[in-house]
Amino acid sequence: MNTTAQAQTATKSSAALNQLEQLRKFTRIVADTGDFALIREYAPEDATTNPTLILKAAQKPEYQALVARVIADGKKASLSGDDIYRALLVAFGVEILKIVPGRVSTETSPKISFDTEALIAEALGFIERYARAGIGREHVLIKLASTWEGIQAAKVLEKEGIHCNMTLLFSLAQAAAAADAGAKLISPFVGRILDWYKKTTKKDYAPAQDPGVLSVREIYAYYKKFGYPTEVMGASFRSKGEVLELAGCDLLTISPELLGELKGSTDPVPRKLSVEMSQDFKLPRLSLDEKAFRWRLNENAMATEKLSEGIRTFASDAAKLEDYIAARLG
């Protein structure tokens, strides 16, 4: 077969793959859901959870047996409602790890997002619960809000071999501080950045000019140029177009709805991010102590507002899940 024929064969072979299969060639796919059936359907390598996702899953009929078991075990052990809440998060994580080969992210309480010591204590408690279930810490990512206190908690935990996923991340300042702290992974929120800009500017944005997409590209380039090992996982997508504009990112955590759209199309998926593409990045390396971090975050209205809003939203859904557990206990 001559070179032209080989190229044509390769093109046809690539075209036969759906977009999800093409994306897997250069990006690790993560499911953004707590629904076991959907995780099985899309076969991601990792899965992420948060209070909102677990609240949604816990109320589905197919998971009532799991919830009932956790509550019954908690009552038998005379656990508080807060401890049963944590046990439920871990129980979902354990079940998810029976499906995915990699890691599950379990989120610390939003209420302690500004308390480093409390975050460390809760993370250690999660790791202990996973260990009792036979799950090694290499399969768990502790999710921490990207506050200064959360980043300092990650610094301590990473030194103990407990890997962290920095969530609610909206700015380069947060990303730079998380990388300097040695965080294993960050989750910049693409769609929530877009939401803010659309509301503020009253404009729509094409995927290539999407402010959330541009933010992740900047963070990815910063990490690759300066050799940080911290993984970048784009999150909180509003459209398939946003996902495809970040093809090549280390990881992407994608909702089942968008995973379905990717699976249903065979259009080509060109790579948009790579280490080589990052070498021309112009921004200098940042060195941020607490004062510099807080100032840069304060100067970024979008990041300041979305971080606060995100913590409030997760806290509200965590409270609803706690109320749900309390009602079942009562």
- pLDDT one-digit tens code per residue, 146-156: 999 999 999 99
Is 160 a member of any domain?
yes
The residues pairing with 188 across neighbouring beta strands, listed in sequence order, are 169
**DSSP letter at 234?**
E
* 33-56 exposure pattern, b = at least 16 Cβ within 10 A, e = fewer: bbbbebbeebebebbbbbbbbbbe
Q: Are 64 and 287 in contact (CB under 8 A)?
A: no
The most distant pair of C-alpha atoms in the chain lies apart, rounded to whole Å, by 74
- Cite the active site residues: 143
Q: Are 106 and 93 in contact (CB under 8 A)?
A: yes
* Predicted model pTM: 0.92
Q: Kindly report, residue by residue over 233-271, the tens digit of the pLDDT.
A: 999 999 999 999 999 999 999 999 999 999 999 999 999
Is 5 a member of any domain?
no
* Residue indicated by tokens 């730079």: 176
- How far apart are the C-alpha atoms of 135 and 243, rounded to whole Å? 31
Is 248 a member of any domain?
yes
**CATH code of residue 300:** 3.20.20.70
Is 4 a member of any domain?
no
Is 106 a member of any domain?
yes
- 321: containing domain: 24-329
Angle at 312 between CA 287 and CA 310, to 5 degrees: 50
Is 67 a member of any domain?
yes
Q: Kindly report, residue by residue over 41-91, the tens digit of the pLDDT.
A: 999 999 988 888 888 898 899 999 999 999 999 999 999 999 999 999 999
The total number of structural domains that make up the chain: 1
pLDDT reported for residue 305: 98
